[in-house]
Structure 1
Amino acid sequence: MLNVIRHEAIVELNLARPPVNALSLELLDTLCLTFDQAVADGARGVLLSGAQGMFSAGVDVPSLIGSDRSQVRTYWRAFFSACARLANSPIPVVAAITGHSPAGGAVLSLFCDYRVMANGPFRIGLNEVQVGLSVPECIQMALRRVVGPYRAERLLIAGAMIDSEQALGCGFVDELTGVDQVVPRALHWLNELLALPSHAMLTTRAIARADLSTAYADVDALPLDDFIDGFFRDDTQAVLQALVARLKSKG
């Protein structure tokens, strides 16, 4: 479900939940616990990766259909807790986007310091609107600080899924490379960063990311209940149930 791979002072957290690395509650909880352990054990950097061709398909929607409000709230709190781990990380984190990265997968990458994506027929984006979900402010701000206000507005409202070249062009990702070179390039970037004077780099980084860490200082202060109210709207449930039906028919 989550492979831990050590590269000297860097810990790679490799999402390994076939077939599409959907973010289940168990995977999110494991990601948070393992991330905390890596920091506690003295890692100087973290790399988040997926499988070749698929970084993460995002939220495990099928597991949420039919769940009661308490179960849904537990899931979304775990998702935002994972975002908060990355937002408040005391050490640099790089996303090795090894393939497609819709919705929740794209969201996690936004909280990393740097994003290396596989070049090719791969798409990334926050397509929540297309599946009937609104995008809360705490996620919108994460996209705005990466691509700018106007571009974020256009991408969010349309629920656009853009290809790797478009993602590079608008700043959604920082670098493109061959699918088999995503992790090595991500490691290269992180090692170059870690070669800088540590105190100066980390202090400057903390100042630069203060808006993100402040927004995610307290997960329970996020508008979870408003978001969950939207999740249970009849029209949203209808779209999500149709999505799950399509996924089952393909499987």
Structure 2
Amino acid sequence: MSIPLIETQDIGAIRCIRMARPPVNALNPELCRSLIAALETAYSDGVLGVVLAGNPKIFSAGLDVPYLVSLGDDRSAVLEAWQAFFGVARLLAESRIPVAAAITGHSPAGGCVLALCCDYRVMARSADPAKPFAIGLNETQVGLAVPEGIQKLMRRIVGGHRTERLLVTGEMIPAERAFDLGLVDELADGEHVEARAIAWQQALLKLPRQPMLQTRAIARADVVEAMSPESIDVEAFVDGWWEPDTQAAMKALVAKLGK
């Protein structure tokens, strides 16, 4: 019997969707498809808001790199994995209801992308200030170029110049600085992150519904455009997967993870 990769809980008209793939919610096709199914079910069930959460200390570690590397030269399988991931991101970006990210810990790369596609981001403070949780698009550090659409997501929040600095170096940003930059909207102690994301959703429920949703749709048109197939050229992105620098960096990362 397979173990569910997603946990759901309804809090009134709000549905909490938790990624639950041990140990770090690495985004393989199965988890991505489970997320798509959970989101589509939430929309069809008529819930009024969604909270996307992870595990304590980790939201999502991003794409499952060991899995991707294991696919070798199977371009169709690599393409399928990336299409599944971008499918989740696009579904979040195009959501007709608000989605809050409860960033329960570290959120690199693909985890950061999913959070950026949400309306509101609550991030956990680390219990140890010397070891803060971090969020960021660290793709260049692991040998990947950042597609234009994802860069647009970051630019709309922190501005063009700062986005260039962060993305070129692949910098991971500690939670407190992420809050100062506006990359996350709120900080909370770990055990309160989901509750704060739910509280934000509950505040929206008190507003006149249609004016709020219409205003939201106008304000988020650039998010939808950023995740469009035209802005995320998956075929071209996958072509770059076999660049020598990318393969060397990915294999080095897998070796590091295996230690």
2:79 aligned partner, one-letter code: R
The alpha-carbon deviation at position 24 of structure 1 amounts to: 1.1
Identity among equivalent positions (%) equals: 52
1:115 aligned partner, one-letter code: R
Which position in structure 1 is the counterpart of 2:41? 37
Q: Distance in 1 between matches of 2:43 and 2:142?
A: 35
Q: Distance in 1 between matches of 2:75 and 2:230?
A: 16
SS state at 2:18 partner? strand
Cα shift readout 1:169-198 (whole Å, capped 9, x = no counterpart): 111100001001000011001110121000
Query: Does the alignment pair 1:164 with 2:170?
Result: no
Which position in structure 1 is the counterpart of 2:233? 223
1:108 aligned partner, one-letter code: L
Matches of residues 189-200 of structure 1 in structure 2 within 5 Å? Answer: 189-200=200-211
1:239 aligned partner, one-letter code: A
1:75 aligned partner, one-letter code: A
Q: Give the TM-score, by structure 1 length.
A: 0.96
Cα shift readout 1:113-152 (whole Å, capped 9, x = no counterpart): 0000001220111000000000000110011112111111
Residues 169/220 of structure 1: CA separation in 2 closer, same or farther (3 Å cut): closer
Which position in structure 1 is the counterpart of 2:69? 65
Give the alignment partner of residue 95 of structure 1, picking from 92, 96, 101: 101
The alpha-carbon deviation at position 216 of structure 1 amounts to: 3.2
1:23 aligned partner, one-letter code: L
Which position in structure 2 is the counterpart of 1:214? 225
1:96 aligned partner, one-letter code: A
The alpha-carbon deviation at position 66 of structure 1 amounts to: 3.4
Cα shift readout 1:64-119 (whole Å, capped 9, x = no counterpart): 11311100000111111111001100000000000011111011000000000001
SS state at 1:4 partner? strand
SS state at 1:22 partner? coil
Q: Give the TM-score, by structure 2 length.
A: 0.93
The alpha-carbon deviation at position 221 of structure 1 amounts to: 7.2
Query: Does the alignment pair 1:26 with 2:30?
Result: yes
SS state at 2:70 partner? coil
Contact kept, 8 Å, 2:148 with 2:231, in 1: the verdict is no
1:229 aligned partner, one-letter code: D
C-alpha RMSD of the superposition: 1.1
What is the count of residue pairs matched by the alignment? Answer: 248
Which position in structure 2 is the counterpart of 1:74? 80
1:179 aligned partner, one-letter code: G
Residue segments in structure 2 that go unaligned for 5+ positions in a row: 127-131
Residue segments in structure 1 that go unaligned for 5+ positions in a row: none
Query: Does the alignment pair 1:239 with 2:249?
Result: yes
2:208 aligned partner, one-letter code: P
Q: Distance in 2 between matches of 1:194 and 1:126?
A: 32
Q: Distance in 2 between matches of 1:40 and 1:60?
A: 29
